[in-house]
Structure 1
Amino acid sequence: MDRTRCAGAAVDRAGGPRRPDRRSRTRIRRAVSLPGRLPPGIVEAVETMRAIGIDVGSYRLSLYGLFSTLVVGVLLYIAVRVVMRAIKWLLRRNPQIDATQRLLTEKLIAIALFVFALLLGIDLLGIDLTALAVFSGAAGLAVGFGLQKTVGNLIAGIILLMDRSIKPGDIIVVGDGSAMGGPPLPGGMPNVGRVAKIGVRAVNVITRDGRKHLIPNELLMTQAVENWSYASPEVRVRMRVPVAYESDLRRAQRIIVETAKANPRILTEPEPVVWITAFGERAIEHELRFWITDPESGLGNVQGEVFLDIWDRFQEEGITIPYPRRDVRLVPGDEPEG
């Protein structure tokens, strides 16, 4: 009786019996509910899967735990995908949000949802992270080195979307064009491409020849990027046109400008201009400069049209375009011995 009273007094002084913690309640609930609600075969299978495993410190790594982790992970992944589809549908229906802001919002919400799903999965599975403290240092170091570039590209992509320096649909040139399929094309035309998509890791750029290039986001932050669509879609094009010394230069210049103005893709304001740039060995070098508003439609095609029209007009007006030629003169002398 005395011991019972002392125990009762101790319980009363503590404010009642101590309630089991959350993990203990979960184990008690499983122990009570599983045998009464599940068929005997499933209960035996669960117990067998729990028996197969290894102990890592105070944590039991069993086959049942791996199966539960897989099921919870798949369900959470499906839930995140469904929620993301609903959010994308809502964002696309809002006309006040442009494509860049929508893409940035989708990526930030996706990151937040995946982090929340990860924490929720750890809580549902009852994983004790302190049991993994032995491996956390080495694993964290390995993951840090392995994901260094990935995290850098992710942050660079978010920065690109926030400052809106590069947007889907922009026409860009990265560095010298080597990241987009090679150096500048013949004739001095840069290898340009249209930004199709800004992803988590890379930017999808489609060049004029139909090739798709995945340029890492970090590369766009560290290299010089020429964005033809950043401030204005207007781009100036330069063309070299040689004229023979024997030709009427003023008439040739007038023909060059008139030919450029006749092209529908070339702007009339500012109007095309032509300048003498050098007195070459065989010709007087001219440079035609004009503006276009649709560089995504190509530069080589508009240059080819202007060159062909200039050639036709020069043929009609009798203006010649010099070309390299070699004169061979035979000096009279002794005949070769034969």
Structure 2
Amino acid sequence: MEEAAAPWHQFILDYINSPDFLWEGGAILVVLLVSFILAQVLKRTVYKRLGKLPSTWISQSLVPAFTALTMPAAYVLICAMVKGNIINRGIEDVLLTPASSLAVGWFLVVMVNRMTNEPFWQKLLGTIVIIITLLSISGLLDPTTRALDGINFPLGTLNITLLGIIKGLFMLLFLIWMSIRLSGAAESQMHKMPNITPSMEVLFAKVLKVILISLSILIGLQSVGIQLSSLTVLGGAIGLGLGFGLQKVISNLISGVILLLDKSIKPGDVISIENTYGWINKLSARYVSVITRDGRETLIPNENLITNYVENWSFSDTKVRLRAPIGVSYDTDVRKAIDLCIQAAKNCGRVLNNPEPKCPVKGFGDNSVDLELRFWIADPANGVTNIKSIVYLQIWDLFQEHGVEIPYPQRDIHIKNSPPPDLPKELLDSEDKGR
């Protein structure tokens, strides 16, 4: 062990005592200093010109990413220029190449952390970058690449290598990430356009995302070396199997597209389906997010909205008529009670004056004269039960003030007198003897 390490130990000592060490060490320090100064100047210039812009993608994402990458990028570029001059002077390159590799790894790690905010992907990609950097510094990157390229996986007429699979996976992950980011940026821009409805905005975003991800998969397969024409039969079999296994998922996807095309529901609509009532928060590829009045978010599959009965309270008009049944005593002036009910509805700010509230007589019940107050609101998304409660409280106050009685269930029992029943003669004789 000591004999194997002796040549390396002697090489390090000789190099440290040589002038080349001073040249390279000094060059690295100068490059670090110049890179730091240049990065600071660029950061101040960028923040001065772009950092004060309104809250946009440039000020929130591009400027912080640029400033974070300025230092490693400047170091890589300046180090490459200095390395050429050092080599031209006949100085042995021992430190500059590893320093350049470390700078490139530094740049890639910072870029990965800016690309994603998920800790799992940051750790995974950062570890891969560090491993590649260490292999490059130690001189083992090329032998490792050749070894991976020598591992083959025959697939019919294709000959896929392990290196090609790794490159394809990296390419596929990067392209899918770019597709998701681009579709998200496009959706944000469309959200700012007043001429695009929410339904069309979601539809365009979905179509764009599907197209970009499909292109990413195709490019990833091509980078591995797989010709698409050779996957015709295999793709058909896989598609058939997926069609049976993912029948519900595909049904929800198609139902989502239909909902967007016919514009029957859109974000912000107030709907009622089965036991769920609330307003639509989001239209997704597989489900619709509905927020109830309790603040709970319910995810309803798109297929249910196609096949089931759905009440859209704001489909063509946001105006909704509500009904509030009321009973008054038979001793009450019914016309006066009707006027008080209408006045109670008009006293509530959310109740519309046009159409005006109405209060017809619905019938004569067992205990009361049955009335039904009908009034309109234009904001069902703000709640229905709460406005009915406010109207009921107004009616209660006015009835108490004007002496209108709200009856409670009651029953009258009438007992009629009848002659005593005929008793048997034996009982009558026994009573006489007892006296």
So what's the TM-score if we normalise by structure 1? 0.75
Letter in 1 for 2:351: I
Cα distance change, pair 131–48 in 1 and its aligned pair in 2 (3 A)? farther
Q: 2: CA distance between counterparts of 1:228 and 1:52? A: 63
Q: Does 1:320 align with 2:419?
A: no
Unaligned runs of 5+ in 2: 1-135, 418-435
Asked whether the equivalents of residues 266 and 292 of structure 1 are also in contact (C-alpha less than 8 Å), the reply is yes
> Matches of 2:389 and 2:179 in 1, distance apart?
51
Structure-2 change in CA distance of 1:210 and 1:122 (3 Å): same
Q: Secondary structure at the match of 2:317?
A: coil
In the TM superposition, residue 94 of structure 1 has moved relative to its aligned partner by: 3.1
- Tell whether 2:289 aligns with 1:226: no
Matched, 1:216 2:301: yes
Q: What SS does the aligned partner of 2:265 have?
A: coil
Q: Is 2:333 the counterpart of 1:253?
A: no
- Residue 167 of structure 1 is matched in structure 2 by 266
Give 1:139 deviation, angstroms: 2.9
Any idea what the Cα deviations from partners look like across 1:270-315, whole Å, max 9, x if unmatched? 1111111121111111111010111111111111111111112112
Bigger share in helix: 2
Match of 1:45 in 2: 144
- Residues 5-154 of structure 1: pairs in structure 2 closer than 5 A: 41-52=140-151, 54-60=153-159, 62-129=161-228, 136=235, 138-154=237-253
Report how far residue 89 of structure 1 moved: 4.2
Aligned sequence identity (%): 39
Deviation at 1:66, TM superposition (A): 3.1
Measured after TM superposition, the shift of residue 82 of structure 1 is 3.5
Partner Cα distance (1:297, 1:147) in 2: 38
SS at match of 2:258: helix
SS of corresponding position for 2:285:
coil
In structure 2, what is the Cα distance between the partners aligned to 1:50 and 1:130?
24
State the distance in 2 between where 1:105 and 1:125 align.
Answer: 31
- Matched with 1:239 is 324
Give me the whole-angstrom Cα distance separating, in 1, the residues matched to 2:404 and 2:327.
11
* Aligned-pair CA distance for 1:194: 0.4
Q: TM-score when scaled to structure 2? A: 0.59
**SS of corresponding position for 1:237:** strand
Q: Following the alignment from structure 1 to structure 2, what is the Cα–Cα distance between the partners of residues 268 and 158?
A: 39
Instruction: Pick one of 271, 276, 279 that aligns with 2:364.
Output: 279
SS of the aligned residue for 1:274 comes to: coil
The structure whose RCO (Cα within 8 Å, separation 6+) is larger is 1
Kindly state the Cα deviation for residue 137 of structure 1 after the two structures are TM-superposed. Answer: 5.4
In the other structure, the counterpart of 2:21 is none
CA distance in 2, matches of 1:236, 1:93: 33
Name the CA distance, whole Å, in 2 between partners of 1:211 and 1:300: 17
Identify unmatched segments of 5+ residues in structure 1. Answer: 1-36, 181-191, 333-338
Is the Cα–Cα contact under 8 Å of residues 56 and 131 in structure 1 kept in the other structure? no
What displacement does 1:140 show? 2.8
Please name the residue that 1:295 is paired with.
Answer: 380
Alpha-carbon RMSD across the aligned residues, in angstroms, is: 2.7
Q: Is the 8 A contact 2:350 2:377 kept in 1?
A: yes
Q: How many aligned positions are there?
A: 283
Residue 283 of structure 2 corresponds to 198
Quote how far apart the aligned CAs of 1:131 are.
Answer: 5.7
